[in-house]
Chains A and B, each alone.
Chain A
Amino acid sequence: MSFLAFFYILAHIAFILFRLPHFIITLILCLSLTVTLFADDTVVILRSQELSAYDMAIDGFVKECKLKNIDVKSIEDMRGKLTNGRKVIAKYTNSDKKPDLFLAVGVLAATLAKKSIKDTPVIFCMVVNYRRFNLSAPNITGIASEVSEEKVINIYKQAIGQLNSVGVIYDPFKTKEMIASGRKYFSAIGTELKGVGVKSSGQVKNALAKIIDDIDALWLVPDSTVISRESFRTLYNGALKKRVPILSTSDVFVKAGALIGVYPDYHNIGVEAGRMASMILGGVEFEPGYVRYPDKIDIGVNLETASKIKLKISKETYEQHHVVEFP
Chain B
Amino acid sequence: MRFGLKIKFTLFTSLLILVLGVVSSVYFAVQTKMMLEDELKKLGSSFVVQFAMDEEVRSALYLEQTAFLDTPLNRLRELDVEDELAYCRVLMPNGEVFREERDGSVAIDLDNVLNIDDLSSVREPKVSRFVVRPLENVNEIVYSDTFRSKRLKEIFYDFLAPVFDKKGIAEEEFARILSRGDTFVASEDVPDILGYVQVGLSSAQINSKLWKILLKGIVPLSLITILGGFWVLYFIAKRIANPLSKLVGMTSRVAKGDLEHKVYVKTGDEIGVLAESFNHMIIDLKKQRDDKEHVMMELRDVNKELAKSNNALIKTNDQLKDAQEQIIRSEKLAAAGQLASSIAHELRTPIGAIKNSIYFIKRKIVREQMHDADSFVKLIDIVNNEAERSAKIITNLLGFTQTSKPSVAPNSVKHVIEETLLRVKTPESIRIINDVNDDLPKVLIDSLQVGQVFLNIIQNSYQAMPGGGSLRISTSQSDKFVNVKFEDSGVGISGKLINKIFDPLFTTKAGGIGLGLAFSSNVIKRHGGDITVRSVEGKGTVFTVSLLMVI
What residues of chain A have their CB less than 8 Å away from a CB belonging to chain B? Answer: 82-83, 86-87, 90-91, 94, 108, 111-112, 114-115, 132-134, 171, 173-174, 199-200, 202, 224-225
Contact = CB atoms under 8 A, between A and B. Distances in A.
B62 A132 contact: no
Contacts of A115: 62-64
Given A171-B70, A174-B67, 10 more contacts: A82-B55, A87-B185, A111-B68, A115-B63, A115-B64, A133-B67, A134-B64, A173-B70, A202-B78, A224-B70
A111 B65 contact: yes
B214 interface: no
Nearest to A87: B185
B422 interface: no
Contact of A91 (B63, B71, B183): B183
A133 B99 CA distance: 13
B185 A133 contact: no
Contact of B59 (A108, A132, A171): A108
Interface string B511-537: 000000000000000000000000000
Contacts of B62: 82, 115
23 contacts: A82-B55, A82-B59, A87-B185, A90-B186, A90-B187, A91-B185, A108-B59, A111-B59, A111-B63, A111-B65, A114-B63, A115-B63, A115-B64, A134-B64, A134-B66, A171-B74, A174-B67, A200-B77, A200-B78, A202-B78, A224-B71, A225-B70, A225-B74
A282 B183 CA distance: 32
Contacts of B233: none
A174 B67 CA distance: 7
B67 A86 contact: no
Given A87-B183, A94-B185, A199 B65 contact: no
A264 B424 CA distance: 164
Contacts, number: 54
Contacts of B183: 87, 91
B188 interface: yes
Nearest to A135: B65
Interface of B: 55, 58-59, 62-68, 70-71, 73-74, 77-78, 101, 166, 183, 185-188
A82 B63 contact: yes
B188 A86 contact: yes
Contacts of A82: 55, 58-59, 62-63
A112 B73 CA distance: 21
A112 B63 contact: yes
Nearest to B67: A132
A112 B58 CA distance: 12
Given A199-B77, A225-B74, A94 B186 contact: yes
Given A83-B166, A133-B65, A134-B65, A90 B185 contact: yes
A272 to B, nearest CB: 24
Nearest to B56: A82
Contacts of B65: 111, 133-134
A173 B58 contact: no
A182 to B, nearest CB: 18
Nearest to A112: B63
A90 B187 CA distance: 8
A199 B63 contact: no
The 5 A-B pairs with the shortest beta carbon distances in the complex, nearest first, are A132-B67, A111-B63, A90-B185, A115-B63, A111-B65
A299 B65 CA distance: 32
B61 to A, nearest CB: 10
A199 B74 contact: yes
Contacts of B55: 82
A82 B101 CA distance: 25
Nearest to B183: A91
Nearest to B73: A173
A174 B62 CA distance: 20
Nearest to B185: A90
A115 B187 CA distance: 15
Contacts of A83: 166
A225 B71 CA distance: 8
Nearest to A82: B59
Nearest to B166: A83
Contacts of A133: 65, 67-68
Contacts of B63: 82, 111-112, 114-115
A210 B211 CA distance: 32
Contacts of A132: 67, 70
Nearest to A91: B185
A133 B68 CA distance: 8
B448 to A, nearest CB: 136
A108 B187 CA distance: 19
A263 B3 CA distance: 92
A76 B239 CA distance: 92
A131 to B, nearest CB: 9
Nearest to B78: A200
B378 to A, nearest CB: 157
A176 to B, nearest CB: 11
B70 A174 contact: yes
A225 B69 CA distance: 12
Nearest to B190: A86
B101 to A, nearest CB: 8
A83 B63 CA distance: 11
A134 B68 CA distance: 11
A201 to B, nearest CB: 8
Contacts of A114: 63
Contacts of A111: 59, 63, 65, 68
B90 to A, nearest CB: 13
Nearest to A86: B188
Contacts of B185: 87, 90-91, 94
A112 B190 CA distance: 14
Nearest to A95: B185
Contacts of B58: 82
A222 B65 CA distance: 18
B145 to A, nearest CB: 29
- Among the interface residues A86, A200, A202, which one has the most CB atoms of the partner chain B within 10 A? A86
A176 B58 CA distance: 24
A164 B58 CA distance: 44
Nearest to A199: B77
Contacts of A108: 59
Contacts of A112: 63
Given A82-B55, A199-B77, A90 B188 contact: yes
A154 B295 CA distance: 131
Nearest to A113: B63
A114 B73 CA distance: 23
A134 B99 CA distance: 13
Contacts of A174: 67, 70
B77 to A, nearest CB: 6
Contacts of B70: 132, 171, 173-174, 224-225
Contacts of A225: 70, 74
A171 B70 CA distance: 9
Contacts of A171: 70, 74
A128 to B, nearest CB: 10
Which of B64, B166, B185 has the most chain A CB atoms inside 10 A of its CB? Answer: B185
A83 B55 CA distance: 10
A132 B63 CA distance: 13
A82 B55 CA distance: 9
